Amino acid sequence: MKLKIKDISYVIPVYNEEKRLKFLLREILVFRKKNKNIDSEFILVNDGSIDKSYQILNNTTKYYKFIKLINLQKNFGKGYALRKGVLRAKKNYIVTIDADLSVKFNQILLWFNKYKINTKNTVYFASRNHKSSNVKFKFYRKFIGIILSFFVYIFVDKKIKDTQCGFKLYSNKIGKKIFKELNINGFSHDIEVIFLLKKLNKKIHELPVKWTHRNNSKVNLITEPFKFIMNILLLKIKYF
């Protein structure tokens, strides 16, 4: 089947990823080499890392023009880092993706080859709860996900099964509109993305994904779920 995508901006937030950056950067180079017909750029946003992440990224981006680096002097949060990256993106399609590569870069190509992707009025969310997804979870992550999904079902949207998977596809136009208005800087920014899409009368469509758990997550599984629930309630009040 003929590939339907010609260019992509991948936006990748990075926070204290020193141990995983070698893998991430190698995967970027492999993807570029295998897909020379796609004009891709990789925007890595260093979100105030206190390990050697910035030094590693800075040394690498000197040699590859398609790898762009945005360096934030302090840690603001995933939502803020993504906003900075999305607003810098130049390609027609914008994909947000986590630095641990629990979802690989080529997932977007699989989507375009298998589904009728139309980003004019639709944003595509990878869903680990889709019946066709291939997912390798840790039990405690699955349990927390079920609890958070319950609050999303009650207060946000009864149709969306997975808001927190980091892999999402936007058109450049919609992506910039959404992230320009985004106020939530942290882990629960995805919920505000949903409210903003509703505000703009844009659709959300969930697609299956191959997702693999990676160790060394930077999400605090004790404090972040409480912040997540509180932000849902605050956003519900704000947008309705």
Mean pLDDT of 173-198: 95
Model confidence band, residue 1 (pLDDT cutoffs 50, 70, 90):
very low
Mean pLDDT of 17-25: 95
**In this predicted model, which residue has the larger pLDDT, 187 or 122?**
122
Mean pLDDT of 22-28: 97
Res. 223: pLDDT tops 90: no
- Residue 214 token pair: 């990676």
Res. 229: pLDDT tops 90: no
83 burial level (CB within 10 Å; 0-12, 13-18, 19+):
buried
How much is the mean pLDDT over the chain? 91
What's this model's pTM, rounded to 2 decimal places? Answer: 0.91
The percent of residues above 70 in pLDDT, for the chain, comes to: 93
C-alpha pair distances (Å), 77 with each of 27, 83, 134, 137, 200: 24, 10, 28, 24, 24
> Tens of pLDDT along 53-91?
999 999 998 899 999 999 999 999 999 999 999 999 999
